Amino acid sequence: MLTRIQECYLSLTDFRNMRDRAKRYAYGRQWDDTVNVDGADMREADYIRAQGSVPLKNNLIRKLVRSVLGVFRNNYTFPDPAALGLDPDSDEEVTAYRRLTDLADANRLEEVFARTMEEFLISGMAIQRLTANITLPSLSGRSAAGLVRADYVSPDTFFFDSASRDFRGWDTTLIGEIHDVDFGTICSVFARSGEDVRRLAAIYSRPTAGGRYAGNNLCRVYEAWHLDTVPRYHIHDTERGTLCKMEADEFEALPAKQRKKLNATWFCDKVWRYSFLTPSGEVLAEGDSPFRDSGHPYVWRAYPFIDGEIHSFVDDVIDQQRFTNRLITLYDWALRSSAKGVLLFPQEAVPPGADINELVDEWSKFNGVILYRSKGTAQVPQQVSGGTAQSGITDLLNIQLKMFEDVSGVNSALQGRLESSNTSGTLYDSQMRQALVSLQDLLQTYNAFIRECLLKLLTLIRS
């Protein structure tokens, strides 16, 4: 099992690198990419400083993310019973819906969904773990109110079957996450006696176990859910008029006389089973899925997941952000390197007996003065100022900012600003609708994720 977990985790290495880079750009660390200069690797920021420049940035990505999050917050409403497939005329289902709304408040689901949406924009993946306080071990703690808990799961610790290609995740055969928790939590979840505590202490004290880390003193646990195939029988009890499933060994252990009274059909059934493992392979807990749907506790959505590929909203605009930063840095360098108010003062123009320092004070108290000897006739002092207006950098920057909006689909209207004071309300509404259309696929994909989370919560409520 550990080998399969490692294979699934390593198969997402490129995705995690993409997520880490997108996260750096979203939160302002935009000059941390590595470049090779004369055979030595260094950060772009260090290279720019070594050239005597300042690595400037204008974090447009963060503004885009906040704009889309604002759209989500403005449009978020808790689904009504019909949207979740519930019958509003059924007392049982109305009661389940009321419990669902109570659990949503207890788990602060609106805030959880908003932060998960931010993760979805940055990495292209949204994951939640939905569990109940039943027989299943949980390293996430217990819900303060109610029996059901909804937790955000970081894609950095998440893994799933590398062969999965279904957009809905229905073809996944292995899924889970890595928990790094303190030793006390390990004991509270898996120890049932003093002997268990001593056994766990021996496991996590091994240098080769890889379970305890210097500095943070945390212990690692692998939680893996795998789809297993088991032999079973479909049982039709004609005397009682019941249908059920029965384990093959349990049915075959029945007396022959009793088996003859039952219509039994052998088949292979698929069941989800869980395992909690240490880094050295010891099994801390295992068992069949305790949920009503016999499934795993994870709800996840990857975007767009074409051929298993994940591409995030932020990753799509990183190149535009990089070019914008380069233009800003270049513009700053051009301004700093151009002449600004330098005085060219011919030496023969200095009056006899005059002190050049006094002339400088008279001319200007802060601008530079260059003393030179001109050829030919005497020349009067002249002020020299070099401009950068014709460099073309400003035009390139304006073009790049416009391309930034085109690539992201988040135009000025969606960001809450008018392109000009003469923009009419009709044009503004049209621009707003156009921006929402370009984001519709992304938003609807996340809405499908929310609906699946709520349906999973309903299943847990009914368990």
The string of DSSP codes covering 61-116 is HHHHHHHHHHHHHHH--PPPGGGGT--TT-HHHHHHHHHHHHHHHHTTHHHHHHHH
Give the separation between CA 8 and CA 222, rounded to whole angstroms: 12
Same domain? 227 vs 289: yes
Q: Is residue 453 part of a domain?
A: no
Is 459 contained in some domain? Answer: no
The answer to the question of residue 196 being in a domain is yes
346 and 313 fall within a common domain: no
What is the rounded distance in angstroms from the CA atom of residue 225 to the CA atom of residue 230? 15
Report if residue 108 sits inside a domain.
yes
227 or 388, higher pLDDT: 227
User: Of 271, 286, 317, which marks where a domain is finished?
Assistant: 317
The torsion angles phi and psi of 368, rounded to 5 degrees, stand at: -75, 150
> pLDDT at position 135, please?
59
Query: Which residue, of 317, 337, 358, is where some domain finishes?
Result: 317
* Bridge partners (DSSP) listed for residue 197: none
Looking at the predicted structure, is the pLDDT value of residue 142 above 80? Answer: no
Same-domain check for residues 309 and 391: no
Q: Are residues 18 and 118 in the same domain?
A: yes
SS3 175: strand
Range 244-252 average pLDDT: 86
Same domain, 28 and 42: yes
Least confident of 139-153, 230-244, 284-298: 139-153
- The confidence score (pLDDT) of residue 425 equals 60
**pLDDT for position 357:** 79
Number of domains observed in the structure of the chain: 2
| Angular region, 210: left φ>0, alpha ψ -120 to 50, beta rest | left
Q: Give percent above pLDDT 70 in the chain.
A: 82
For the residues 434-463, what does the mean pLDDT come to? 88
Q: What is the pLDDT of residue 341?
A: 67
Report the pLDDT value the prediction gives residue 306, as an integer from 0 to 100.
Answer: 92
CA angle 278, 281, 285 (to 5 degrees): 60
Structure tokens at 440: 């519709």
* Cβ partners under 8 Å of residue 19, min gap 6: 122, 123, 124, 125, 155, 156, 312
Task: Say if residues 404 and 60 touch (Cβ distance below 8 Å).
Answer: yes
pLDDT in the model for residue 350: 75
Identity of the residue numbered 415: Q
Same domain, 35 and 159: yes
455 in any annotated domain:
no
DSSP result, 268-332: EEEEEEEEEE-TT--EEEEEE--STTS--SEEEEESEEETTEE--TTGGGHHHHHHHHHHHHHHH
Co-location of 291 and 325 in the same domain: no
Contact criterion met (CB below 8 Å) for 123 and 23 = yes
Eight-state DSSP code of residue 236? E
pLDDT level of residue 194 (50, 70, 90 thresholds): very high
- 243 and 326 together in one domain: no
Same domain, 196 and 344: no
With respect to residue 360, please indicate whether it lies within any of the assigned structural domains.
Answer: yes
Same domain, 312 and 428: no
Among 317, 348, 375, residue at a domain's last position? 317
Burial bucket for residue 65 (CB in 10 Å: 0-12, 13-18, 19+):
buried
451, part of any domain = no
Q: At 423, is the pLDDT very low, low, confident or very high (cuts 50, 70, 90)?
A: low
Q: Where are the alpha helices (DSSP H) in 107-239?
A: 109-123, 183-190, 194-204
Please state which of the ranges 104-118, 200-214, 406-420 shows the lowest mean pLDDT. 406-420
* Same-domain status, 334 and 196: no
Q: CA 87 to CA 458: how far, in whole Å?
A: 13
Residues counted in the chain: 463
Domain hosting 152: range is: 2-317
Query: Tens digit of pLDDT for each residue in 29-80?
Result: 999 999 998 889 999 999 999 988 889 898 989 988 998 999 899 889 999 9
Average pLDDT rounded to a whole number, residues 196-209 = 81
Give the β-pairing of 369-372 and 342-346.
parallel
Q: Name the pTM for this structure.
A: 0.81
> Which has more confidence, 170 or 386?
170
The rounded distance, in Å, linking the Cα atoms of 58 and 52 is: 20
CA distance 283 to 268: 26
Res 192 pLDDT > 60: yes
Beta bridge partners, 41, equal 36
Does residue 159 share a domain with residue 31?
A: yes
Q: What's the chain's average pLDDT?
A: 83
Please check whether residue 364 lies inside any domain of the structure.
Answer: yes
The string of pLDDT tens digits covering residues 352-400 is 777 777 777 766 555 566 555 666 666 677 766 555 445 577 777 777 7
Closest CA to 127 of 161, 156, 159, 152: 152
Which of 7, 20, 5 minimizes the C-alpha distance to 155?
20
Both tokens of 425, joined, read 């309300």
